[in-house]
Amino acid sequence: MAKTLSEAIGYTLGKKAAQAKNVFDLVGGTEEESLRAEIRLGRDLAAALLERVPLIEENEATRFAAQIGRWLAGHVKEKKLPFVVRVTAEREPNALALPGGPVFVSWPLLELCQWQRDEIAFVLGHEMAHIVRQHTLNRIVKDAALSLLLSQSSGKNAASAWLSKAGRQLLGRAFSREDELEADVFAVALVGTAGGDASAGERLLEKLAQGFGQSVCIAGEYLATHPPLIERVANLRARRQG
Ligand SMILES: [Zn+2]
């Protein structure tokens, strides 16, 4: 089947991205330069996302969530990433991480945590893991549609165009089972290192597995697309028991 020129260009870029071992390969330059590129991409995507997803107006609860984010960020040892936690007004439990630091968590997911600091910390730590381990970045960079848009317009316009089409769906999907379970383990360790209750994550997942919150609309994609809650609990328990 004949391809249009832009499809062909997109295919080439997508292929190049798919062949890159990681984003450093693709962006080139020093580690510091690629970190800057990662942060810029995340900021462009966050700005584009904010045009589409409303935030909860700042209040004591949103400040509490942001403060938990800063507390955890102070204990992430891998590299200096500008983590920022924002609370969205989505109706379903949801959380999302963008490259370089932005984390979005929905109000209903915070409610499922019953505003327990360390349960919220586990949820945020899980998203931070996707950033630190570059799960989000690698997925985005390998997306041919975004590569094409970035080659045609500024980062911000490309991010916006992408999010209005394929991007939103891509960002909403869970990562591989391995990445998700790894993010849970990272989160538990981070909460523990920060001086919080490391068992809070297991407790939260167990509570959700037992059906807590079904009355408050749990049937969201966020939980449905992650590995089964039972498996996540078993994974954390196995790690804990060594
Ligand atoms: Zn995840």
What's the mean pLDDT when you consider all of the chain? 82
Burial class (CB in 10 A: 0-12, 13-18, 19+), 102: buried
Q: With 80 as the cut, is the pLDDT of residue 131 above it?
A: yes
Q: With 70 as the cut, is the pLDDT of residue 217 above it?
A: no
Confidence label for 115 from pLDDT (cuts 50, 70 and 90): very high
Q: With 80 as the cut, is the pLDDT of residue 129 above it?
A: yes
Ligand 1 geometric centre to CA of 140 (Å): 15
Ligand 1 geometric centre to CA of 226 (Å): 7
Residues 192 and 139: their CA atoms lie apart, in Å, by 28
pLDDT of residue 2: 36
Ligand 1 geometric centre to CA of 7 (Å): 31
Ligand 1 geometric centre to CA of 175 (Å): 6
Mean pLDDT (whole number) for 19-46: 71
**Tally of residues, the chain:** 242
Ligand 1 geometric centre to CA of 215 (Å): 23
Place of tokens 């360390």: 118
Give pLDDT tens digits for 153-183.
777 787 888 887 777 777 777 788 899 999 9
Helix, strand or coil for residue 171? helix
Ligand 1 geometric centre to CA of 119 (Å): 15
What six digits make up the tokens of 108?
Answer: 């209903």
Q: Integer distance in angstroms from the first to the last C-alpha of the chain? A: 54
pLDDT of residue 1: 34
pLDDT of residue 162: 81
The four Cα atoms 85, 42, 182, 206 give a dihedral, to 10 degrees, of 30
Residues 6+ apart with CB under 8 A from 146: 140, 158, 159, 162, 166, 167
Q: With 70 as the cut, is the pLDDT of residue 27 above it?
A: no
pTM, whole model, 2 decimals?
0.84
Give pLDDT tens digits for 91-104.
888 899 998 999 99
DSSP string, 190-242: HHHHTTS-TTHHHHHHHHHHTTTTGGG----HHHHHSSPHHHHHHHHHHHHH-
Tell me which of 14-18, 143-147, 215-219 is least confident. 215-219
Residues 3 and 22: their CA atoms lie apart, in Å, by 28
Ligand 1 geometric centre to CA of 5 (Å): 36
Ligand 1 geometric centre to CA of 56 (Å): 22
Ligand 1 geometric centre to CA of 8 (Å): 32
Q: With 50 as the cut, is the pLDDT of residue 3 above it?
A: no
pLDDT-above-90 percentage for the chain: 43
Residues 172 and 111: their CA atoms lie apart, in Å, by 20
Confidence label for 226 from pLDDT (cuts 50, 70 and 90): confident
Residues 135 and 23: their CA atoms lie apart, in Å, by 11
Residues 6+ apart with CB under 8 A from 218: 93, 112, 208, 211
- Is residue 136 a contact partner of residue 97, using CB atoms and an 8 Å limit? yes
Ligand 1 geometric centre to CA of 225 (Å): 9
Ligand 1 geometric centre to CA of 78 (Å): 19
pLDDT of residue 28: 57
Place of tokens 């975004």: 146
Q: With 70 as the cut, is the pLDDT of residue 20 above it?
A: no
Ligand 1 geometric centre to CA of 75 (Å): 20
Ligand 1 geometric centre to CA of 17 (Å): 23
Ligand 1 geometric centre to CA of 37 (Å): 23
Residues 158 and 146: their CA atoms lie apart, in Å, by 7
- Is residue 200 a contact partner of residue 184, using CB atoms and an 8 Å limit? no
Ligand 1 geometric centre to CA of 74 (Å): 21
Ligand 1 geometric centre to CA of 97 (Å): 9
Confidence label for 86 from pLDDT (cuts 50, 70 and 90): very high
Ligand 1 geometric centre to CA of 235 (Å): 14
